[in-house]
Structure 1
Amino acid sequence: MLQTLLEHLDRRHPVLVQTHDFPDHDAIGSGHALHWILTQRGFCTYLCYNGEFQSETLKVTIEELGIPLIPAQSLHLHEKNQIVLVDGFAGNTNVTDLTGELVGIIDHHTPPVPATCPFIDIRTSYGSCSTILYTYVKEHGAPLPRTIATSLLMGIMTDTAFMTRGVSPIDLEAFSALFFQGDWQRASYLLRNCLSLQDLPIIQQAVNHYRIVDDVCFLELDLECTSELLGLVSDFFLGLKEVIIVVSWAFEKDILHVSVRSEDPDRPADLIVRRALAGIGSGGGHIHMGGGAIPRDRFPGAEALRSRFLEAIGKRNIHE
């Protein structure tokens, strides 16, 4: 697939490797690897993003690994730019439309609509986008720098919840190879120590105000919360034996972040969030993990949103 992507790119014009907005470890790891490959292949390449970093851990990772991320607004954007989107899909609310030609999409999420750009590499059976880029690294053939191996490893570990969720055989191969090529000890330390004392009020509110409807747990947080922390809190509640699905949401500025976790393959998280947010926001993900966003002015209220999710899950008229 790498060779096919290269055939769609023109060395006369810059390539923008764009992550989804408010990037996470998987998006940044994927982008880091693709930026390195394209630079080695003779392209003028920039790795760019929009939004803010969702955790201090991510900021430390970027600094320690020397990841050359540039805010998109700092770039000279023009129509000749060639854009390759990693770990995201054009048209989603978490992907800013940049000036230039969208040449390629590399992603592991189920697309909400058919993609129309020249190069499309979407592998929904993979646990992370970083795993897709691992296959590109193999095809590229050059010795892999330890920093890039580490950022890919962190992307895989994050999106598979340390190899416990949505893992495919190629994810295992990538994890095994990168484990020995990267700094797994530092990667593990950074990912495990991702909470701070400032997060405790949010965790306390979740513990004190959860709602259970049959086997579905709702976490409706009043405090502002990043999407990363929302996912971590959801994973904690999913560990309760009575809970099969967790739906959580919280505002961050003017966006309501929504997180869905599911342990029932017949009730996939990505389908649940897509159905529940239809007409008011956007979302997607995988069988076990999904997420979405709703603009503040389209938030229907907690009760109405809860009803939307219950209907999407297939639980109507269930009493708490």
Structure 2
Amino acid sequence: MALFRKLETQLAFLQELFSRDEQWLILINADPDALASAMALKRIMSHRVKDVAISHVNVISRPDNLAMIHYLRIPTKKLTPNLAAQYDRFALVDSQPHHHPSLREFSYSLVMDHHPLVEDEPVLADFKDIQPDYGSNCTMLMEYLYALNIRPGKLLATALVYGIKSDTQNFERNFHDRDIRAFRYLSKRSNPLLLRKIMRSEYHLDWLSHFARAFCKIRLRGNSLFVFMGEIENPDILVVLADFFLRVHDVTWTVIGGIYDGVIVIIFRGDGVTRDMGKLAATLYGEYGSAGGHKGMARAELPLENLQGKDPEDFVWSSLCRNKKCRDSKVKK
């Protein structure tokens, strides 16, 4: 059995697409899978085009992303019109143009992604490879490195390992056999100490005050834990808190809410066994805004004006209680 896909046709097309007279910009919506994929594509393009760079469209604030960029020396820059004007061609990895408003502004020569295609949003590019069955985009890039006989160095291998771990959630989410093969191949070439440093970079120092607030606001309902943080400066803290509290013994799902820029953001996390978080979010809040997700994780975003003057915390909590009879019991200090 072949370790990875045979890519003779794709490689032949890429060889014709790449030119030493052109400068390429790789665009990403930065997360570990996208950062590592861009790093790998940059390695593939090196010495095949005049110049290649990486640019991200989103604000990078999560500690693990910042640690990944720092320790693995990933040279990404924030996208600006002046930066984009310096390049002849554009590539997109781990995303599709409709995934972010800024990505819609470009015509792409290359797209590599593993998210499902949307019928009303066709992906147009000179070359595209989209594999929705893959758990990680890094696996696709690993296949191209392997087919080109490029052995990834320790920094690139470490980035790809973390990208696979992150997007498959340590193989707890949907994944393909090739994700496992890529992970096994890369693990032998990665730096476990650097990987551990990145994985342990979970919290900003100024986030600790949010933990203190959250501990005082906990409400328990059976095996669920609820916290409403009020006004917040960054919705990422809600994700961090939801993941953190899911580690508490006997807590099987968490709901963490807050208000950011006039929108109630609600993060759901579950063990993937007892309840479907995506269905729960859609059922409770779908009529008030966007809501949905996967069995183990989900998100809802509800504009405040859709609540018609209702108190945000009372609304979120009472909606949860109506879904299942419960008794509000606060954690004792």
**For the superposition of Structure 1 and Structure 2, which TM-score range results when normalised by the shorter chain?**
0.7 to 0.9
Higher mean displacement: 158-167 or 27-36:
158-167
Deviations 1:38-75 (A, max 9, x none): 33543743311123221344334323322121211164
Once superposed, what is the RMSD of the aligned Cα atoms?
Answer: 4.0
Structure 1 contact 82–100 (Cα < 8 Å) conserved: no
Larger Rg: 2
Q: Whole-Å Cα distance in 2 between the matches of residues 306 and 83 of structure 1?
A: 46
2:219 to 211, 216, 227: 211
Note the C-alpha offset of 1:302.
3.9
Aligned AA (1:318): K
What is residue 73 of structure 1 aligned with on the other side?
80
Q: Whole-Å Cα distance in 1 between the matches of residues 313 and 169 of structure 2?
A: 28
Aligned-pair identity (%): 20
Note the C-alpha offset of 1:195.
2.2
Unmatched tracts of structure 1, length 5 or more: none
Note the C-alpha offset of 1:116.
0.2
Distance 1:139 1:307, change over 3 A: farther
What is residue 36 of structure 1 aligned with on the other side?
43
Structure 1 contact 89–95 (Cα < 8 Å) conserved: no
What is residue 106 of structure 2 aligned with on the other side?
100
Note the C-alpha offset of 1:177.
1.9
Note the C-alpha offset of 1:89.
4.0
What is residue 45 of structure 1 aligned with on the other side?
52
1:25 to 21, 32, 55: 32
Note the C-alpha offset of 1:316.
2.8
Structure 1 contact 231–259 (Cα < 8 Å) conserved: yes
Q: Whole-Å Cα distance in 1 between the matches of residues 255 and 12 of structure 2?
A: 40
Distance 1:263 1:144, change over 3 A: same
Q: Whole-Å Cα distance in 2 between the matches of residues 106 and 271 of structure 1?
A: 29
Q: Whole-Å Cα distance in 2 between the matches of residues 5 and 249 of structure 1?
A: 47
Aligned pairs, how many? 312
Unmatched tracts of structure 2, length 5 or more: 328-333
Q: Whole-Å Cα distance in 2 between the matches of residues 43 and 273 of structure 1?
A: 48
Under a length normalisation based on structure 2, what TM-score does the superposition of the two structures give?
0.73
Q: Does 1:177 align with 2:188?
A: no
Higher mean displacement: 249-258 or 177-186:
249-258
Q: Does 1:189 align with 2:197?
A: yes
Under a length normalisation based on structure 1, what TM-score does the superposition of the two structures give?
0.75
Q: Whole-Å Cα distance in 2 between the matches of residues 51 and 202 of structure 1?
A: 23
1:316 to 307, 315, 323: 323
Pairing of 1:5-20 with structure 2 (within 5 A): 7=13, 11=19, 14-20=23-29
Q: Whole-Å Cα distance in 1 between the matches of residues 224 and 295 of structure 2?
A: 16
